Chain A
Amino acid sequence: MLTIEPSAPPDQLFAGYQPIAGTYDELVEQGGRTRDHARVVANILANMTPDTFARSQALAELALAQKGVTFSVYSDQRGTEKVMPVCLVPRVIAAAEWARLERGLVQRLTALQLFLDDLYGEQRVLADRVVPAELVLASRQYVPRLRGLKPPGGVRIHIAGVDLIRSPDGVMRVLEDNLRTPSGVSYVIENRLVTKRMFPTALERLGVRRVDDYPIQLVEMLRSVSPVDPEKSTVVVLTPGPFNSAYFEHSFLARSMGIELVEASDLFVTGDEVFVRTTTGPRRVHVIYRRTDDAFIDQEFFRPDSMLGVPGLMRAWAAGKVALANAPGNGVADDKAIYPFVPDLVRYYLGEEPLIEQVPTQVCARRADCQYVLEHLDQLVVKAVDEAGGYGMLMGPQASAAELEEFRARIVADPRKYIAQHRIELSTCPTWIAADRRLEPRRIDLRPYVVTGKDGSWVMPGGLTRVALRAGSYVVNSSQGGGSKDTWVQADAAS
């Protein structure tokens, strides 16, 4: 008997796409059915061939290179620039889900701001034992000398970039709160320009919310926290310089806000006021959106060996003469050691249940948790609380016996230094794999940006979707083979 294989013709881009078993795919359900809110995208892909897609993809990459949408690689002394890899297949988020996320993010950041105010003030939260005092006070990110100081304008977390992941049950969870100098927002805006060129009608048909008003929202917010009349304020962006990995973004933001981009040597402090050196002499600065880390912004106050700092800047900030966005000292609130307690902080400060989930976390400082971690070491991801960027981390399921033993000894020796989580199967999205000329599921996360000024918070609709381009990888960082995608948030459920 003759049977006809139901395989789709090979020239169809989307034919034969299968989600990874046990993982949530953003576009396709496990059975192969397209998710309702993403139908428009599925239709576009179904009408494309590998050839047409490859052409669009190549055009997009060329456009980004010509525009100089790059990040610098630190390992290279000369600061080699690389183009942020982008995949043209967008990630779509339904209107209703986005509305829930927005509320959850604002609630969480409100609680974290109150926590910082409290910690650098009365410290009720420690007296009431909501968070173990020894954990907070031992954090390297806690700056005792800031206690008693209030930021001009009252805001501490002006710009937050909260990393979200989606677990197999379809629930979005906070993985990390970035409350210091989160980067990546420029790629969101540039990616949108590219998808607009490639899929002009789809955005319109789906009713995708715009992202290009971010700079306007940002500069309004920055003005709102000025110590003087916002209309008479000078706002600047402070960059560590062209060799910083995010220099493109610093320049992009300054340009799209229409304000000056300055380096530390352009600024100086006199009489507790900050000035920028201009061809017409010094000019007073009122608000600084600084993209330099706390440790480097003022060699009088923080690291004396910093080459990127402005001596006296912290003095001016303490005197209320200049607003710094974000405020110094925020690191303690996005510390891995504090993360497990954030839901408790929401309840404590707001008297509400958290609207947004996070990843269940064991705190080794707790005896019972520590016991559990030691017993399940080979199934857990263990993180040292004072390390970042994947250092001091154990991936239990992939680790060798020797590595497990080494970590076990470290945890027993200093349990307070460690937290542990089960590895989350990050959700996937169809992603163009140039070498194979086809779409395959790759793991993604999402970083929405929340801007908070004197008059409240604004959440950029969408955010940066980062994708782990290597098969089987969970690492979405651009420095380690990650790329990005445009994030399409639907305008409302009706469209």
Chain B
Amino acid sequence: MISRVADHCFWVGRYIERAESTARLLQVTRALAFDAELPPLHCWRPLMIVSGQFPEFSAHFGADAAGNGDIVQRYMTWAPENPVSISTSVRSAREGARSIREVLGHEIWQATNELYLWFASEEAGAVYVHDRDEVYRNIRRGTQLCLGLVRSTMLHDEPMDFLWLGVLLERIGQTARILDMHHHIQGAADAPQTLLQTALWLSLLRACSGFEAFMRREQGRVSREAAVSFLLFEARFPRSLRYCVRSALALSQRLDVNIDSEPWEGSEPPAKGSARQSQASPTRTHGKGAVTAARTRLDALDRWLDTQEAKDIPLTVHALLTHVIDEASTACQELQAGVEGATTVAARIQKQEAAQ
């Protein structure tokens, strides 16, 4: 698989997942704000904080703007200058898909393109004004269609593995951020009442598409402990951190094995003379493939989650989430560096060749 293509696959997965997650979070937060039990600032500012864009947002619109749901939603939905807006994610997913159209196949490409075209259309703008929920629903439907097609039409092979790894690593970050919203709401001046606490937890569960699954597991008993443990550790729930980390680990193990065990492809050795072959051999050494570093980190993160679950007094949820977000983000960087690294090794061989 071409290294550039692997990188694109990874990012297409991340952007699609990010667009869906952002749409869902906006939709749920909007519903929460409508209940009017929390002041708007307590609904929307935490969302801005976990998005990572709060400083830029405040600098542009003023610190009070985070209490204005319309400004926040417009910024998170449409702003092209916002790197995590739905608009940016959809456009980037589509740009990425366009340059690997031949790898994704026409159905996935077309689903991505149709989503992009609809979102950029005047119609979407009009719907946003009159029926905003429908915009968020359409984004979610569109992205879910894309991801569904990925699993049901692509070869379950390297390109899909890279794409899905992007989805899972993005999802780890998104779930962790949504859960962390609670910390920031709590941190606000007047902490909410118990009744409101329940509403808040249900809202966060909805933002992770986990409401029904959670209620089934707990048979309707809502508590902070149960909600946190569900979103962190429930291995059967596909958006929990435990599930995402384990699945990402499994994918990276599969990729790592495939990438390491394959000999030179093609019918002939890479170059004449054994000296040159040995120059190329660093890429072949077992345990040093493009995804090895990311795999090792995910492995450690998975074990770390185990120890946290077993502890009687775990870290604060906020500290735990911060660690998970940092580790997932580093794994992303390592993965990218690894994929580029394969390219770098090839470039080095080429340079040495030229020097001779």
Contact = CB atoms under 8 A, between A and B. Distances in A.
Interface in B96-150: 98-99, 101-102, 105-106, 109-110, 113-114, 117
Given A242-B99, A271-B353, A283-B265, A262 B2 contact: yes
B304 to A, nearest CB: 28
Given A67-B110, A283-B264, A278 B342 contact: yes
A255 B259 contact: no
Interface stretch (B24-32, B41-49, B73-81, B268-276): B268-276
A281 B102 contact: no
B4 A281 contact: no
A273 to B, nearest CB: 7
B318 interface: no
Given A68-B98, A278-B265, A282-B280, A265 B117 contact: no
Interface in A202-243: 228-229, 232, 234, 241-242
Nearest to B273: A271
B353 A266 contact: no
A251 B110 contact: no
A270 interface: yes
Nearest to B5: A260
Contact of A255 (B101, B267, B339, B349): B101
Contacts of B270: 270-271, 273, 275, 282, 284
Contacts, number: 115
A254 B265 contact: no
Give the interface centre of A254, A269, A270, A275 by most chain B CB atoms within 10 Å: A270
Contacts of B3: 266, 277-279
B117 A270 contact: no
Given A228-B267, A263-B4, A281 B342 contact: yes
B346 A282 contact: yes
A276 interface: yes
A276 B290 CA distance: 16
B37 interface: no
Contacts of A241: 99
Nearest to B6: A279
Interface string B267-292: 11011100010001001100001100
B354 to A, nearest CB: 8
A281 B280 contact: yes
Contacts of B259: 279-280
Contact of A266 (B2, B95, B98, B284): B2
Contacts of B289: 279
Contact of A66 (B114, B258, B280, B284): B114
A71 interface: no
Interface residues of A, number: 35
Contact of B267 (A229, A279, A281): A229
B262 interface: yes
Given A271-B272, A278-B3, A279-B259, A261 B113 contact: no
Given A271-B276, A273-B271, A281 B283 contact: yes
B195 interface: no
Contacts of B198: none
Residues of B contacting A: mostly: helix
A138 interface: no
A65 interface: yes
Interface in A356-373: none
A268 interface: yes
Nearest to A262: B2
A254 B270 CA distance: 24
B266 interface: yes
A273 B283 CA distance: 19
Contacts of A67: 106, 110, 113
Contacts of B193: none
B199 interface: no
B341 to A, nearest CB: 10
Contacts of A278: 1-3, 265, 342
Contacts of B5: 260
B324 to A, nearest CB: 27
B1 A280 contact: yes
A277 B342 contact: yes
Contacts of A277: 2-4, 342-343, 346
Interface string B156-168: 0010000000000
A357 B1 CA distance: 47
A283 to B, nearest CB: 4
Contacts of B255: 279
A275 B101 contact: no
Contact of A270 (B6, B109, B271): B271
Give the interface centre of A270, A275, A281 by most chain B CB atoms within 10 Å: A281
Nearest to B349: A270
A262 B113 CA distance: 21
Interface of A: 65-68, 228-229, 232, 234, 241-242, 251-252, 254-255, 260-263, 265-266, 268-271, 273, 275-284
Given A67-B113, A266-B2, 9 more contacts: A228-B267, A252-B101, A266-B4, A270-B350, A273-B270, A275-B346, A279-B339, A283-B265, A284-B266
16 contacts: A228-B267, A229-B267, A234-B266, A255-B101, A263-B4, A265-B4, A270-B276, A270-B349, A271-B270, A273-B270, A278-B1, A279-B1, A281-B346, A282-B346, A282-B349, A284-B266
